[in-house]
Amino acid sequence: MAKKEKKAGRSSVWILFMLLFGPALIIIVFSRGCTNHFKTLDNYGNIGDFELKLSDGTVLTQNDLEGHITIFTTVQNTCPDSCGIDFWFVKEHLFKRIYTNAKKLKHVRIVSIVTDTDGNPAPVDDMLMFNLKEVVKDYDPRFWKIAEGDPKQIYDIEHNGINLYEERGEKYLGDRLFLETLLLIDDEGNLRFVRFGKSESMVRDFHDGFTLLEKEFEEKRRNKEK
């Protein structure tokens, strides 16, 4: 009789274990042979050839996008912290994540193209860099690069039927839509996401888009390593 009770006790423990952990074990077993499925961003096409001169004197071209996730913005040398985009929002919701996860996100960078308030190319000057470092205390040029060059090279692309460079409106800085936009470019040079950079809600939304693209990037990397 005692032996039967002992066996029954072991059976009860096993049943309880399976009830608690069985579903998780099944998921683990099956997930090993499956590809993760998650929402992906739309692809709006390749941004094409370009050449920008960075503040350290090096040149950034389309070839340098390979293997990286790149966030493009504009920045104005007369009012860098709040004209086209709001540096504080971008710092809090984008740069901080990249900077604090530098080892994991070493393939991610922000590139800000210098313009005047009308959208014309402008040089990098000492006041611009001073203001940038004042707002972004942890500023690191490895992850946030300042560039000179014609912004048309990057922004002359369509998104939802609108040419970002050509679109104009009185509500935009200098009547130019592109001055206020954030572009998310994947590791093959394709435009994947666009949002305004002056609104905190829009920058947060852009961060969500970035998170989706980062998942896609990691999935691609894992598949290559298999």
How far CA 70 is from CA of 30, 60, 117, 190, in Å, comes to 34, 11, 23, 10
Q: Is the pLDDT assigned to residue 201 strictly greater than 60?
A: yes
Q: Are 146 and 128 in contact (CB under 8 A)?
A: yes
b/e map 78-98, b = 16+ CB within 10 Å = eebbebbbbbebbbbbbbebb
Q: Mind giving me the DSSP string for 44-111?
A: --B----EEEETTS-EEEGGGGTT-EEEEEEEESSSTTTSSS-HHHHIIIIIHHHHHTTTTTTTEEEE
Three-point CA angle 77, 82, 85, nearest 5°: 90
Residue 159's pLDDT band (boundaries 50, 70, 90)?
Answer: very high
What are the structural domain ranges in the chain?
1-34, 51-225
Average pLDDT of the chain is 86
Of the listed ranges 124-133, 180-189, 206-215, the one predicted with least confidence: 124-133
Residue 80's pLDDT band (boundaries 50, 70, 90)?
Answer: confident
Q: Are 198 and 74 in contact (CB under 8 A)?
A: no
Q: Is the pLDDT assigned to residue 11 strictly greater than 80?
A: no
> Which pLDDT does position 226 carry in this prediction?
75
Q: Is the pLDDT assigned to residue 70 strictly greater than 80?
A: yes
182 DSSP β-pair partners: 195
> Which pLDDT does position 225 carry in this prediction?
83
pLDDT single digits (tens) 28-37: 333 333 444 5
Q: What is the mean pLDDT of residues 160-170?
A: 95
Q: Are 202 and 184 in contact (CB under 8 A)?
A: no
Question: Distance between CA atoms of 35 and 23, rounded to whole angstroms?
Answer: 19
> Which pLDDT does position 18 carry in this prediction?
43
The tokens of 86 are what?
């709001």
Q: Are 87 and 94 in contact (CB under 8 A)?
A: no
59 DSSP β-pair partners: 53
The tokens of 194 are what?
């666009």
Residue 27's pLDDT band (boundaries 50, 70, 90)?
Answer: very low
The correct answer on CATH 3.30.420.40 for the domain covering 51-225 is: no
> Which pLDDT does position 30 carry in this prediction?
35
> Which pLDDT does position 55 carry in this prediction?
93
Q: Write phi, then psi, for 104 (nearest 5 degrees).
A: -75, -35
Q: Is the pLDDT assigned to residue 26 strictly greater than 60?
A: no
The tokens of 8 are what?
């029954």
Considering the entire predicted model, what is its pTM? 0.82
**Beta 69-76 vs 144-148: how paired, if at all?**
unpaired
Residue 38's pLDDT band (boundaries 50, 70, 90)?
Answer: low
> Which pLDDT does position 9 carry in this prediction?
53
Q: Is the pLDDT assigned to residue 224 strictly greater than 90?
A: no
